[in-house]
Structure 1
Amino acid sequence: MKSLIPLVLLFLGVMACSSQEEEQTHFLIEGTLTSAPDELPIYLRDVYTGINIDSTFLENNAFSFQGSVPFPMRYQIIYDGPLVSYNHTIWMENTQIKVNANWEQMREATITAGKQQQLAMEVEEAMSRWNRDHALPYYNRALYDLDDTAMMELMEYQESQRADYFLPLLIDRVNSYYGVEELYNRRDQLERDDMLALSANLDEEIRSSPYGQSLLEFLEVEQLQEGDPFVDFELVNLENQSLRLNDLVGRGKPCLLVFGALGQMQQYHRNLMGTFYYDNKEEVEVIGYVWEHDLENFQQDTLWYRGVPLYTDFKKEHSPLVIRYGVVHTPTVFVFDKEGVIRYRNDLYNQEAHQVALSLLEGS
């Protein structure tokens, strides 16, 4: 029997290692939700693609999901109630995740997950305290004391102050999947030198992540400004046909290019763009770039497009086109002259872009 003990111990050790390895390559979400409707549909959604990757129903106040992710990424748990829906955003890692919530107090839910979730919650709590102590008192006074122009100036000032407060929080956490995604998404709020310094200290694993690669690409190229000639990129239209921006811009007509297109706009702006297109489509090229990840969702954007030609490259925020043109927010509007030189850029959509485009027709 003694001779078998080492073999048994070895076998148990192998099994333990195997079990530990399995835990590291899969996630398990165990959720508790009280006071919710019976058999409530619950979905697990990939934040980046908008695709529901799994679904279940609430049973005896409990639900669960299992699966795996290639690296930490953000998912949402969608609670699809009969009258109202809620969601929780979770940094998904291959680990055990606990969710405890009450349907009547969903914002008070407790979520226990991996390292990335902990980092995100630390920053979220710190920024919530800052907003409560610094931003809200100013805004409350401004609502009564300031006109629209002064209010906008105050909001811009507050945004710069918020960025100054956020930067030290990010510095401490930048070498993580959470940190590099935040750094990339806030690239318009931070100084380029600060971003270069932060990116220089990223581990190879983080640098090679999708957001790490996009951040490095953003820092390696100069973003286009007014006065620069357009840069050509490959696109796809609603019929899934490939073409290039060069086929649309610099062809003897002014061009209005809107990143984000119509689905992300308010109804008023959608109507504004659609009307401009129909009234001027013979003289001005109008293009909508849509942030989509697949053809099916792209073609569904026809619900919004008012006939405006839509294009994409299925790369969303990681698109080389988006990075080169320095687009962070949608809608972002560019106006090119007849030769393809950028004459106007704005992070808002309004009639000023129309006026610039029409002014470029003069002398034709």
Structure 2
Amino acid sequence: MKNYFIFLSCLILFLSCDTKNNESIKNTTKTPQKQGFTLQGELQNGEASIIYLNKIIGNSLYQVDSCKIENNKFAFQGIVEFPERFALTFDSYNFKTILILENTSFNITINLENVNDPIITNSPLNNQLLVYKNTAKEIFRKIDYLYPRFQKARLENDVQKLEEIGTEMKSIEKEFQTFSFQFIEANKNSFIAPIILSDQLKNSTIDTLNIQKSYQLLSNEVKHSPDAQLIALFLKLH
């Protein structure tokens, strides 16, 4: 039961994603491209000297670029073959900030006291992800009401109450899954769709049928993205 609370709470943080190990950043800061990305950033409520741009592969981070932070400002330039989630890390802190890297000029403000909720502007995909995350958080706030009841029932070894709470937890997970699939269908021509769909592979119960239906809705261009390829591999193996 405790694992349910950990699982559902971690989902909305989006601090990791599974992608194939492919060369997704080309011509970074040293050789900027006109059709690539420019990321301008600012830190708040903290100091760091170096910031690192990391590709996420499975549960590991692989550094692909870095730059010095001057007056709490930094910048990255380069080009990505497909939009993907990347992680920003720092030399002075043991945490990471997740964002979608897409070929556009956009900005990010990171409050080092709340790195999980950066302010990202001028990025259509990050804006779409924010809409998704905000609704997901509303769903998962129901956990706040369940957890005290769960603790009390566990201390009292109340099996019946624990079973009832377990049923409610599964209902929350189901509500989240339904919302996710509806969001993917509404954004089937966007690269945000396979990014969110790939997260469905982390659920305690994987809905293979709906994952397959959602994958078939994606446009041919979107299906070439790393997240979509990960889903295709999963479906091939199942």
| TM-score, scaled relative to structure 1 | 0.48
Distance 1:137 1:174 in 2: 34
Q: 2-side partners of 1:56 and 1:148: how far apart?
A: 54
From 126, 130, 152, the counterpart of 1:144: 152
Residues 1:114 and 2:123 are matched in the alignment: yes
Counterpart of 1:210 in structure 2 is: 226
Structure 2 match to 1:31: 41
Give the structure with higher Rg (CA): 1
1:181 alignment partner in structure 2: 195
Shift of 1:180: 1.3
For 1:107 and 1:185, how far apart are their aligned partners in 2?
17
AA of the residue aligned to 1:162: F
Structure with the larger RCO, 1 or 2 (CA within 8 Å, 6+ apart): 2
Q: Does structure 2 conserve the Cα–Cα contact (< 8 Å) formed by 1:119 and 1:173?
A: no
Counterpart Cα distance in 2 of 1:159 and 1:181 = 18
Q: Deviations over 1:240-291 (max 9, x none)?
A: xxxxxxxxxxxxxxxxxxxxxxxxxxxxxxxxxxxxxxxxxxxxxxxxxxxx
Could you tell me which amino acid in structure 2 is paired with residue 56 of structure 1? Answer: C
Deviation of 1:113 after TM superposition, in Å, equals 4.6
Letter matched to residue 59 of structure 1: E
Q: Does 1:153 align with 2:166?
A: yes
Extract unaligned runs of 5+ from structure 1: 1-21, 224-364
The alignment's TM-score, normalised by the length of structure 2, stands at 0.70
For 1:109 and 1:94, locate their aligned partners in 2 and report how far apart those are by CA, in whole Å: 19
Relative to structure 1, the CA distance from residue 31 to residue 200 in structure 2 (aligned partners, 3 Å threshold; closer, same or farther) is same
1:75 aligns with 2:96: no
The aligned amino acid for 2:151 is L
Give the match's secondary structure for 2:80. Answer: coil
| Matching residue within 65, 82, 96 for 1:87 | 96
Distance 2:177 2:158 in 1: 23
Match of 1:197 in 2: 213
Q: Does the CA-based 8 Å contact 1:41-1:58 persist in structure 2?
A: yes
The 5 A counterparts of 1:1-364 are 22-23=33-34, 25-37=35-47, 40-48=49-57, 50-81=61-92, 84-132=93-141, 134-146=142-154, 147=157, 150=162, 153-154=166-167, 155-187=169-201, 189=205, 191-221=207-237, 223=238
8 Å CA contact retained: 1:80, 1:86 = no
CA distance in 1, matches of 2:114, 2:198: 32
CA contact 1:78–1:85 (8 Å) conserved in 2:
yes
Q: CA deviation at 1:58?
A: 1.6
Q: Could you tell me how far apart the structure 2 residues matched to 1:111 and 1:87 are?
A: 15
RMSD of aligned alpha carbons: 2.6
SS, match of residue 85 in structure 1? coil
Q: CA shift at 1:163, angstroms?
A: 1.9
Q: Within 1, Cα distance between the matches of 2:228 and 2:148?
A: 38
| In 2: Cα distance, 1:203 partner to 1:156 partner | 32
Aligned-pair CA distance for 1:108: 4.9
Does structure 1 retain, via aligned residues, the 8 Å contact 2:110–2:118? yes
Q: Matches of 2:200 and 2:86 in 1, distance apart?
A: 20
Per-residue CA deviation, residues 22-41 of structure 1 (Å, 9 max, x unaligned), is 54x2111111113423x522
AA partner of residue 52 (structure 1): Q
1:198 counterpart SS class: helix
Instruction: Spell out, residue by residue over 1:166-190, the C-alpha distance to the aligned partner (whole angstroms, 9 max, x if none).
Output: 3322322243322113223314545
Cα distance in structure 2, aligned partners of 1:79 and 1:166: 31
Q: CA deviation at 1:138?
A: 1.7
Distance apart, 1:220 and its partner CA: 4.3
What are the Cα deviations for residues 223-243 of structure 1, in whole angstroms up to 9, with x where unaligned? Answer: 3xxxxxxxxxxxxxxxxxxxx
In structure 2, the CA distance between the partners of 1:53 and 1:205, relative to structure 1 (3 Å rule), is: same
CA distance in 2: counterparts of 1:190 and 1:171, whole angstroms: 18
CA contact (8 A) 1:73 1:92 kept: yes
Superposed CA offset, 1:113-135 (max 9, x none): 53321221111111011112x22
